[in-house]
Chains A and B, each alone.
Chain A
Amino acid sequence: MITRPATYWTVLFISLQERLVYRGEFAMSTLMRFLPIITQIFLWQAIFSAIEVERGSETIAGYTFHGMIAYYLLTTISRAFSSMPGLASGIARDIRDGTVKKFLIQPIDMVSFLLVRRLAHKLVYYMVALGPFALVFFLFRGFFEGWPEPHVFAGFVLSLLLAFLLGFFLEATLGMIGFWFLEVTSLMFVYMLLNFFFSGHMFPIDLLPGIWGDLVRLLPLQYLAYFPAAVFLGRVSGPALAAGLATQFAWVVFFAVAARVAFHFGVRRYSGFGG
């Protein structure tokens, strides 16, 4: 099944147009997304004030108060790249209601089609979200120690791009489970919870002690939120940075293959009902 690049350009272009219709809703939901961070700032301020008074210490697992808030702000950028709202559940729904049939008939590959559509979705999101993000980071610039070195920044950008691909292929693979189970909503909910806690979205995963920390570091989830933020803050540097990026890339390849394998075997047992 060979599709001309022009086809994907058209898909991208149409999806861009489609997405731009909802730019108002996009901008609002972006600003709203920063609201929980306000609570986090006050919570951590209270925690750091307590450890300073009670224990005379100013850091938690190597994070200062400012470092901690900078971390949370940076994870919002990671999440802007890696989160794929509605991707897995959309695939599962298409399988359930039979929409997936069109990919079996039309000469276009489903995973690539969805990737291009998601790319358009994200591009529009960045166009619209750039304003709110710039505003929030400008207001909270005091929490940062300045711009990182150019090579660190390059590593950060690379890890964000890989985070997008990892998020896409991971969720696409999950969506393919719909070929085997008709109802995947609860499974998605559990994944969302695990993602929230173990990607580093709720707290930096290096806070986890002992075996818990080791286990979470084995999962690919940390590359969706924790890793890019840690790169920016200079917590991962030198050989560790190269190794981290290589591991992230390996996970991308793993899930890119897994999604296609799952689709291949899923289609074999797929039976379309209705018209």
Chain B
Amino acid sequence: MDNRGLSQFSQHGDPRPNQPPGDAAKTGLSPSAPPAPLRPSYTRVAYTFLRNSLVRDMTFRANFLIDTISSMVWVLMNLGFYVLIFEYTPMIGAGTGWGKYQFFLFLGTTLIINSLTRGLFLANAIELSEHIRNGTLDFILLKPIDTQFLVSLGRIEWSALGPLGFGLVLMLHSFGQLGYAPGPVTVVLYVFYLACGCAIYYSLMIAMSSTAIWFGRNRSLLDFWFYITNFSRYPMEIYRGPWGDPLRWTFTFLVPVLVAVNIPARMLVRPLDVRTAADWTLPVFTIVATLAGLAVSRWVFQRALLSYRSASS
């Protein structure tokens, strides 16, 4: 099904963005010199990926519609569970401030970050492990563009837009119920930390999928992804006590998935109001964690590539 979609694009001859015509001339190298380093335009390639994926999704419209509907059913059922919980309790955790609509702001943030990372990267991460198993990674390595970039964004799932839109609507509704609108500074901080959250998730995903080079196959990637993000689905305040504290510490500082959703969501619920040291340490830490996550995952990816042995070719 997918292959049909792909071959269709190649027949139509999409613009090849990775080799703009006058590139060699611009760099000032004569034709006899060693091959000029190609400088593909990453934004144009990314735009092409977005467009191609949309064309592919629209080619198989029924499939796209079913994907969207089933992911929305999942989202609605989850929402139903939380509505049910708030039938019984006014708050998640005594004194934490996560009442119904505060929590729905949290849930909206979870939905946005999850659908962005799923839509942009998850299919690619799973495909990477298949590329490694089949040896088709060879063709990706040959392309004159950063391998990690190509591997991460090749295929974008537009059906993830459904839950994303739902998350936004849920957040607008919650603001309405709370009778409060965030100021411009809060919105800017929120968007910034949303991007940090996505980057943290992405780092984890790409690092995990590139381990397939060592293990040959990584079938449980999807399961593992579900289990890891399962910890970040709730406000970090719920992890307390003799077992909860070490757990919160681990998933904040060692594998920083807890800050991915918690920090942006807190920006909305408790707009940055620096009163205690704890109010700014975590937001600052999140920036550090994002940068470290991106750096470490790139390192893991490149280390893994060094061990790539090109299967079955």
Contacts and interface: CB of A to CB of B under 8 A. Distances in A.
- Are A and B interaction partners? yes
A207 B90 contact: no
Interface string A176-218: 0000000000100110010011000011000111000000000
Contacts of B230: 35-36, 39
Given A35-B230, A36-B227, A47 B70 contact: no
Given A47-B88, A52-B94, A193-B73, A29 B220 contact: yes
A190 B90 contact: no
Interface residues of B, number: 35
Contacts of A207: 84, 88
Most chain B CB inside 10 Å of its own CB: which residue of A42, A43, A54, A202: A42
A209 B83 CA distance: 12
A208 B81 CA distance: 9
A29 to B, nearest CB: 7
A30 interface: no
Interface string A135-149: 000000000000000
Contact of A42 (B77, B84, B88, B239): B239
Contact of B91 (A50, A196, A197): A50
Given A42-B244, A197-B80, A189 B88 contact: no
Given A197-B81, A202-B81, A46 B92 contact: yes
Nearest to A36: B230
A54 B91 contact: yes
B166 interface: no
A43 B238 contact: yes
A32 B223 contact: yes
A53 interface: yes
A189 B101 CA distance: 29
A186 B70 contact: yes
Contacts of A50: 89-94, 96
Nearest to A51: B89
B89 A54 contact: yes
A46 B84 contact: no
Interface in B234-265: 234, 237-241, 244, 247
Most buried by B among A32, A46, A193, A197: A46
- Describe B's contact surface by its main secondary structure: helix
Contacts of B92: 43, 46-47, 50
A60 interface: yes
A162 B312 CA distance: 46
Contacts of A39: 230-231, 233-234
A45 interface: yes
A240 interface: no
A55 interface: yes
Contacts of B244: 42, 45
Given A50-B93, A52-B94, A54-B90, A43 B70 contact: no
A46 B93 contact: yes
A29 B226 CA distance: 13
A219 interface: no
B291 interface: no
A49 interface: yes
B292 interface: no
A1 interface: no
A38 B244 CA distance: 9
Nearest to B231: A39
A261 B270 CA distance: 59
A61 interface: yes
A42 B89 contact: no
B220 A46 contact: no
Nearest to B92: A46
Contacts of B238: 42-43, 45-46
B227 A203 contact: no
Interface string B62-104: 0000110010011001001100110111111111100000000
A197 B77 contact: yes
A144 to B, nearest CB: 18
Contacts of A36: 227, 230
B238 to A, nearest CB: 4
Query: Which of B80, B89, B241 has the largest count of A CB atoms less than 10 A from its CB?
Result: B89
Contact of A55 (B80, B90, B231, B239): B90
A60 B88 contact: yes
Closest 6 CB pairs of A and B: A46-B93, A53-B94, A46-B238, A186-B66, A50-B91, A49-B94
Interface of B: 66-67, 70, 73-74, 77, 80-81, 84-85, 87-96, 220, 223-224, 227, 230-231, 233-234, 237-241, 244, 247
Given A32-B227, A50-B93, A190-B73, 7 more contacts: A36-B230, A45-B244, A50-B91, A53-B94, A193-B74, A203-B81, A209-B87
11 contacts: A39-B234, A42-B234, A42-B238, A46-B238, A47-B85, A186-B67, A186-B70, A190-B70, A197-B77, A203-B81, A208-B84
